[in-house]
Amino acid sequence: MGENEAMVLTQKNDPVLMTQTMRWFGPADPVSLRDIRQAGASEVVTALHDIPNGMVWDRPAIAARRAEITRAGLGWSVVESLPVHESIKLGAPDCDRYLAAYRESLRHLAAEGVRVVTYNFMPLLDWTRTDLRYEMPDGALALRFEPVALAAYDIYILRRPDAARDYDEATCAAAERRVHAMDAAARLELEQTIIAGLPGSEESFTSAELLRAVEQYGDVGADRLREHHAAFLEAVCPVAEEVGIRLVVHPDDPPFPIFGLPRVVSTEADVAAIFARVPSVANGLCFCAGSFGARQDNDLPGMVERLQDRIGFVHLRSVQHEPDGSFHEAAHLEGDARMAEIVAALYNIQQRSGRSIPMRPDHGHQMMYDLTRTTNPGYSLIGRMRGLAELRGLERGIAHAAAAA
């Protein structure tokens, strides 16, 4: 066997591994493209965050963003996210114009080489936390969600009518004690943490604006939101199929109703129903282990196996559940996610299908040098770099064990 033949054989026998990416929020991101490349990622996932929701992403703007990424030695095949306008989620009379804009944006993205487009169908708010600087035992800072803090904001600061009905008696009592112990600065910090806008959320609200927006959803329950989601997919999937893009829905975060707003992408049954209703090959899933993992009744490794054909993008992070129903972001290989089983399931899918699934380490602790820097919550560099390195090592260890078996 000649040298070239041996090289080809080795390459054919090489395992298919996940495409390692990191999220980048564009030129204003404190984390640079050079940082991301040095962290070991080969691609970024990003979006045109400066374009208002519902507007067309024109091709020159997409091309300019791609050129910037390419100059840094990185690839860009996954968009996160192309937002769905609230009129589409509400099924409002003007939703057709926003559906048309979405289809046009998909055509432009495909023309510039994007193959996966992430979106979510959460009403009004993107991912929600009540503490962006929860101190871990080692001094690193994590994101945390606490039901009592949410209830304190909802009942006493937002003052949503009848909000107390959505919480049990013990939570309401604890929320009352909490809010009465808070000074004005603490109340403002809680308000800003919940609604002032987080990375990946193109819109933000004041409490008064949020309350008015919540009222618009007064007659949109879970069943109607599911219908609107299906209508969205039926309107855009034909174009996505035509141009070779897979749409992947990000699960709800947290995966249960908040502020009386329905959530319809929270469980395996939810996503299975979406795929049954709209069976298009363009209708896919962004499997976020952290979002699904915030519900203890979601079997994460089993979901990966059963939903494998629909998974087009993966977010890997782990949450740690607390006895009172709170949860916080754990280190990527710790917490309750059973990460080794998840990555093993993904590895097996890739070997069977021959396709590399784009992955990014989702969120990360603010730690070390980043504790002294201004960072986007959950998206500081060092914590995500640690997560990427750990996940890379885990996957390669699984591959090595498989080869040795």
**How many CB atoms neighbour CB 156 within 10 A?**
17
* Side chain identity at residue 166, one-letter code: D
Q: Which of 108, 328, 363, 365 is catalytic?
A: 363
Whether residue 288 lies in the annotated active site: yes
Q: Which of 167, 288, 347, 370 is catalytic?
A: 288
User: Residue 196 and residue 183: Cα distance in Å, rounded?
Assistant: 19
Whether residue 94 lies in the annotated active site: no
Strand 327-329 to 141-145 pairing = antiparallel
Burial 34-48 (b: 16+ CB within 10 A, else e): ebbbebebebbbbbb
User: Residue 285 and residue 118: Cα distance in Å, rounded?
Assistant: 8
Say if CB 56 and CB 104 are below 8 A apart. yes
Q: Which of 252, 253, 362, 370 is catalytic?
A: 362
- Which strand (E) or helix (H) includes residue 46? strand 43-46
Q: Which of 250, 328, 332, 365 is catalytic?
A: 250
Cis peptide leading into 42, omega within 30 of 0? no
Q: Which of 315, 328, 332, 365 is catalytic?
A: 315
Closest among 355, 109, 98 to 243, alpha carbons compared: 109
Whether residue 229 lies in the annotated active site: no
Whether residue 315 lies in the annotated active site: yes
Q: Tell me which residues are annotated as active site.
A: 250, 288, 315, 362-363, 379
